[in-house]
Structures are given as C-alpha cells and as structure tokens.
Chain A
C-alpha cells in the first residue's frame, strides 16, 4: 500500500498543474525553433529552465488522477499522481538538470531537442495511468533516445542505433499486444498491478524486460551506450532503464520469477566487465548488474524490498550518471575510453579523477556513499524473506561491482601505466555537473533520511548499524586486496583492444550469415532449375522462372517495399471483408 501524499509540496507554480511531460515537449519544441547558431544561448537557457520550471509544476501536483482524455471508448489518464510516480518524476527532473548542465556546450541542437523529448517521454510514462498512454510514451522514449545514439555520427553509432531502435520498437509492440489482450480479458486498461496470470501479463513483462535489460535482451545497453556522444550517454543512462524499473514496481511487485532474473542480471555482466576494454561499455555491463539488484527487489515485493528497489534506481541515476559523466569527459578530451590506451590522467584531469572516485565509491556501496543506503535495503529484505541463495549471489555480485566499477575504471583511466596523454581538465560546465552529482552521492549516503522520507512505502530502515557497516567494509577491503594481489602477481588480465562476443552476435553475425547462406542456396537452386527445366516450362512460366525471370532476379528495394506493402493492404482488406 503506497503511503500518503508526496511529502514535498510547493504552491509556487502560478498556473494550473499540468502533466510534466508537456512542459518538456514544449521545451523541446522551442529549442527546435531556435536552431540558428546565434541562438545557442537561448537553447542553453531552455535546456536549464525547462527542468527548473518543470520542478515547480511537479511539486504543485495533487495526488489522484487528472487530465483524463476520452478517446473512442478509452480513458487515457495523463496524470496519475502518487508517491511512486512523484519520486521518479522528481528524479527525472533532477537528472535532466544535471545532464543539461553537462551538455550545455553541445552545439548540436538535435541532441538538445532529443534530450528534452526523451526526458518528457520518460516523465509521461511514469505519470501515465493507463497502458495505452504508457505505450505512446514508451515508443516516444525509443524514438527520441535513438537520436542521441545516432548523434555519435559514426558508422558504428548508426548501426548500433538501428539495432537499438528495432529492439525498443519490439518492446513497444509487445506492450501494445499485452495491453490489448489485457483489455479483452478485463475490459480495463488501467496501469496497476498486472501479474503473470495470463498471456497479456507475460507479454507486458517481456516488454518491460527488454527495456530493463533482462538476460538475453540486454545487449542494446552495451551496444548503443558506448556509441553515443559523451552527453548523450549521460541522458541515456538516466531514463529508459529507470522507467522500466518503475513499470516493474508498478505492475509486477512480488513476482517471484523476477528474483531469479534479477540475480542472473546481477551476476553475468560482472564477468564481461572484467575483460571489457571500452570503459563506457564496462559501465553498460555495470548498469545491467545494478538493475539486477532492483529487479530482485521488485521480485521480493515486500515494502522494504520495493523501497530498496526504487531507492537504488534513484541512487543509480546519480552515481551511474556521475561515472558516465567522468568517462564522457575523458572521451571529450582524449577521444577514446579504451582502458588499454589510457592511464596517468590524474595529472591532467585531477578534478574528474576525484569525481570518478566518488562515483566508484558510491556504486561499490561504501558506507557514507549513496549506493550503500539503498543496496543494503534490498539485501536485508531478501534475507528477511528467506532468499538465501539469491542473497549469496548478490553478495558475490557486490564484490564484483567493486572490482570492475570501483577499482577497474578509476585505475585504468586515471592511474595504471602513464599513457603520456596530453589532455586538459574537463570543461567548466561538465565539472559543475559532476561536482553536484558527487555532492548528492555523498549527501544521500551520509544523510539517508533525505531519500527515505521520499520513498513510496512505509518501511522503517536504518542502514548504519555496526554489523552492516563492518560486514560491508570487510567485503570491499578484501575484494580490493584480491585485486592488488592478482595485479602484483600478473594474474590479472591485461586490457586488450578487442571485441567480446555477446548475445548480439546472434543478430549481428549468425542471422546475417544464415540469411546469406540461404540466399546463395536459393540462387543455386534457381540456377539448377533454370538449366534442368527450360524445355518443360511454358513461355509464361519461363518469363517468371527462367534466367532473368521476374521471380529469379533480385528486386530493387523500392519494388520490394511496394510488394510487401501491397501484400499487407490485401491482407487487411481480406481481414475486413471476412469480419463484416
């Protein structure tokens, strides 16, 4: 049972409160109208003013549902306000402001437009009260965010963007199919508890799972995030996966299968992270690992576990955003983030080094940093409910997180061997964004009541007791010792320029190869048939099947599209007539 109204309420907004998404869409539209280079200052103002004004609007929202649109026979609820949606709403405003400051010097107006549209879609999703509205914002997020991947403007980013878009559109279609089936079964489109009792529930869970990065559906994160621009990746890290966690917490709390899925998510990426050379991809794997903790929390489903899951989502936006900012700053100054070629940057980028260390301590869940105050909630809730084996798995994963995100990233980027790289400290706006994010990591970690007071459920919890702190310190300090010993003995694997095969190999290599082999076999069969059968073919069949025939030669793409489109229209007509 979600507890009472959101504790932060301000009446400073002079207008009628509106869905937060609309303000962000208005901001994106205004930026799109100010694309002239001379209006860069105006775009920068809009990028910062939108989340600030949006926060005033957000804090004036009253609990309950409003902005209900009747479309056909459906009620589309644009504004469902409770503590769960408000917490994520506040988080997304804060995230947009931080990422906006970080991206202030970006001159590419497309990125600013896409960033605000993306943030607006994420806000629309967390305030949507029905599955159809959720679907539209879900697809909006996919369309806006892919622009941030394509903004990398390289062949790799283009390819990664298309793969990202296809997976996310599939996620949207699954959500829509689930919503339709759910409506047919219940006559209701409200987005509340869904569960996995019917096919509709499983389809919607799969849709959420793609956005969450469930095992075997995760590769879009490690494929696309490293290809986006420095600031684009910061935006990307803040919204999509967090909306998915919100949706799981809303629709599938206490769904037992999520404990297993989340544990696998927390475990498998840490092995990849050990051997990955691209440090932004390491952070991608680290993100899957951290979402695994949240998914487990949702699966456990008690008030403490759910609070832990959403608190960890809140904290992850801060510490993972901070780590992506630091790696983005390195990318901006050096041109790459390959662990094999970096090192020694602490001399030229001392402030970025410090901020990276704060992010590393936070994600590793060191006491007094924010990761600790939320991760320990999930772990404690798991033990209380008797998930001992999964708990041991997450304890293993905790040591692994410290190893790859807490030690590996700062060590190989800023220390390690001196790469002799001539770089300057990050630009001032990037430093300000990193400083604020780092300060928030420490503030929330040192004074967790600030965050706990905003959580949706009533679950008294104190992270700072003697056993929890000492146990965590033992775990982390001995993990660090293991790293030091393995490094000194030369067992630790060196960073190598390489690619590690992941599940995306199936659709990047295996399926295209199978497709090419199938086409070759088809062409070969056609050639054999053309040699063997000419005498037995009628002239009409020869025109179709003979050498150079209409069905044998390769059609142009435009013709192929027409054929597919025509087939679809014919199918629709037949379907319509059949159902008259």
Chain B
C-alpha cells in the first residue's frame, strides 16, 4: 500500500518499480534498433557520420542531460543571487 494513501507510483515501492520500468523501456528501445536495424538512409543521424552507431540517439540523450545539469551547476555558481537581489538598493 502506498504511504499516506497517496498514488502508488509515488510510494517508495512504486517509484522503484517505475525506475525499473524506465530502465526496461530504455533497454527495449535500444534492442529494437539492434534487432531491426534502421533502413539505409532512414536513420537521420546517418548523415552525421561520426555519430552513426548503435544507440547513438540514446547516448546523445543521456550525455546531453548529464552535460546540461553539470554545466547548470557551474552556471548557478556564477549567476545565482538572493531572491530579493533586484529589490535591494546597491
């Protein structure tokens, strides 16, 4: 039973199952490409030859998100100010 009567998927057990489901779905998306290769010229990324390998979209998505968050952390150090920054008189 979910804690506090909330949605099952938000409970610890539900979240764990959802996470496993996400891994399985991601794996299936890659396996499909392995079993049924994209038709010649059908994979858009084929036109960018250096990135024409199995699961390239998957790696691009994973890498993009990680790079985005890490660069976001650096950016935060540079530009974050108190929430009333603009209301304060210098």
Nearest CB on B from A319, distance (A) = 20
Tell me which of A155, A467, A509 contacts B90 (CB under 8 A): A509
Given contacts A467-B39, A477-B25, A493-B69, contact A275 B10 (CB under 8 A): no
Nearest CB on B from A350, distance (A) = 8
**A447 adjacent to chain B (CB < 8 Å):** no
- Contact (Cβ within 8 A) A379 B44: yes
A484-507 vs B: 1/0 string, CB under 8 Å?
Answer: 101000011100111111100000
**B1 adjacent to chain A (CB < 8 Å):** no
- Contact (Cβ within 8 A) A470 B48: no
Q: List residues 391-437 of chain A with CB under 8 A from any CB of chain B.
A: 391-392, 395-396, 399-400, 402-403, 415, 418
Given contacts A466-B38, A481-B26, contact A403 B7 (CB under 8 A): no
Q: List residues 1-60 of chain B with CB under 8 A from any CB of chain A.
A: 4, 6-7, 10, 19, 22-23, 25-26, 29-30, 32-33, 36, 38-39, 42-45, 47-48, 51, 55, 57-60
Tell me which of B22, B23, B61, B81 contacts A500 (CB under 8 A): B81
Which residues of A have CB within 8 Å of B60?
Answer: 395-396, 399, 475
Chain B CB count within 10 A is highest, among A415, A483, A492, A499, for: A499
- Contact (Cβ within 8 A) B29 A347: no
Chain A CB count within 10 A is highest, among B26, B39, B90, for: B26
Which residues of A have CB within 8 Å of B30?
Answer: 474
Given contacts A395-B60, A486-B66, contact A478 B26 (CB under 8 A): yes
In Å, the complex CA distance between A465 and B83 comes to: 47
- Contact (Cβ within 8 A) A274 B72: yes
In Å, the complex CA distance between A476 and B38 comes to: 18
**A540 adjacent to chain B (CB < 8 Å):** no
Given contacts A399-B60, A499-B81, contact A383 B47 (CB under 8 A): yes
In Å, the complex CA distance between A544 and B60 comes to: 70
Tell me which of B47, B58, B83 contacts A477 (CB under 8 A): B58
**A192 adjacent to chain B (CB < 8 Å):** no
- Contact (Cβ within 8 A) B75 A479: no
In Å, the complex CA distance between A475 and B55 comes to: 9
- Contact (Cβ within 8 A) B65 A403: yes
- Contact (Cβ within 8 A) B43 A498: no
- Contact (Cβ within 8 A) B57 A403: no
**Selected A-B contacts with CB under 8 Å, 16 pairs:** A271-B68, A275-B76, A346-B6, A346-B10, A383-B47, A391-B48, A399-B68, A474-B29, A478-B65, A483-B69, A484-B19, A493-B72, A496-B80, A498-B82, A499-B86, A502-B79
The 9 closest A-B pairs by CB, nearest first: A274-B72, A482-B65, A399-B64, A475-B61, A478-B61, A474-B58, A474-B57, A467-B42, A478-B62
